[in-house]
Amino acid sequence: MGYSSLKMGADVYQAPRGTVDILPAEQAYWRYIEQKAAQTCQLYGYERIDTPVFENMNLFSRSIGERTDIVEKEMYSFEDKGGNRITLRPEGTAPVCRAYIENGMHNQPQPVKLYYSASIFRYERPQAGRYRQHHQFGYEVIGDNDPALDAEVIDMAWRFFESLGLRRLKLLLNSIGCRKCRPDYLASLRQYYIGHRDELCPECGVRLEKNTLRLLDCKKPLCQQFAASAPRSADCLCPDCAEHFNLLRKYLQQLELPFSVNHCLVRGLDYYTRTVFEIQPQTGGAQSTIGGGGRYDDLIEGLGGKPTPALGFATGIERIILNLKKQQVAIPPIPTPEVFIAQAGDKVKNEAVKLASSLRGAGIGVLQASSSKSLKAQLRQANNFSAHYVIIIGEEEIETGTVILRNMTTAEQETIALTKLQNRLQCPP
Ligand code: HAM
């Protein structure tokens, strides 16, 4: 596309609000996190899955919940040319469950452990660490209700952040029961809040009618005071859920994970049952949550599959980077080509092009002086690229089958036979 087609009248195009370009200077963070994520997944036995960027809208409204902020306000939905209601993925769990059902993964040995790294779209109000397009690394374990797996999922999230070098995090845990015990709990929660109806903020007034559990999640100071004294889900669990939660806490203690039970932790998606958890920086609160997850034992059945317990976790890569920067964690740079080829005069350009290609063919990264700059300017260019070696080719060298090899760190220079160059670069003395 020509430059003129990027402009319309006096408008200069900008990335849409809430989106950013991930520029080369940022890529070391992304690569670092993706490599650590893949390593962690291998350690815990997860396989990668990639699902489409968009799905049928119903998948999300049915799974996340019609009365959640995500479905009510934040989905990027549109009708395609075939009249299908389509939504850009606002989270990763429902698509993975859809893929599990559609691809008959219940026939595989259970549990099935899957991970993804994907772009996510939510029409939110942009601010630091909150975007309209962000990226999540997430993983799901499908087909087992053992609380030891809940502990493993939480352990994996914690160890992943540790492996990145993140410190000063807190782990919040809660159990919100199952479809057997939740209705009674919700009734008592509602009863409690009806007593405070007139003092609640306007949004909580609506939540009281539409999504009672989310009352516990309000960030307004007065509503938080009510939440602190509200009935607690963990006190209203049926015997099976209570046993599950007890065992989970025991496993977490054994793993020496520093969790604290937070009775107001309910998460923003409706599919959760029993375990919910979040990992947050020690300072910052719920708005800065780095990752969260939990169990969703009814979701696969709700999407038309067989009853299948499952759980998972996801973390926002942009939020991880924010915290890595805040904590000044050193990130390994992405290696750049070590060798720069400079040519003394345009006549030898042909040889320089050939040499660059043959060295790259041998697996040696090479940058080549691109224009007919003076040799001095080419050496400056090599310096700017932080090249470790500069190969200088001139007419005399071509005649004698040699090149000049300059070590940019020591400034030492030697003449070396072309036939020995490759070996010399691969095995320096
Ligand atoms: P979530 O808490 O909605 O959970 O999102 C997971 C993480 O994505 C958050 O903790 C946060 O780090 C990041 N995140 C969310 N929204 C934004 C945003 N607008 N900008 C930047 N980062 C954001 C889920 O999505 C569940 N699917 C997690 C899960 C997996 N539960 C079970 N399995």
Q: Give the domains, in start order, of the chain with CATH numbers.
A: 6-181+237-326 (3.30.930.10), 339-424 (3.40.50.800)
pLDDT value of position 374? 87
* Protein residue with least CA distance to atom 25, ligand 1: 91
Which protein residue's CA is at the shortest distance from atom 2 of ligand 1? 292
- Dist. CA 360 → ligand 1 center (Å): 41
Give, using CA atoms, the residue closest to atom 9 of ligand 1.
Answer: 291
d(CA 227, ligand 1 centre) in Å: 23
Over its C-alpha atoms, the chain yields an Rg (Å, rounded) of 28
* 136 in contact with ligand 1, CB cutoff 6 A: yes
Residue stretches of the chain with pLDDT short of 70: 1-10, 285-286, 371
Of the candidates 252, 302, 251, the one whose C-alpha atom is nearest the C-alpha of residue 273 is 302
Q: What does 63-124 look like in DSSP terms, one character per residue?
A: HH-TTSHIIIII--EEE-TTS-EEEE-S-SHHHHHHHHHHTTGGGSSSSEEEEEEEEEE---
Q: Whose CA is nearest to atom 17 of ligand 1?
A: 130
267 C-alpha to center of ligand 1: Å? 10
pLDDT score at 429: 76
Ligand 1 centre to CA of 157 (Å) is 13
CA distance 167 to 290: 12
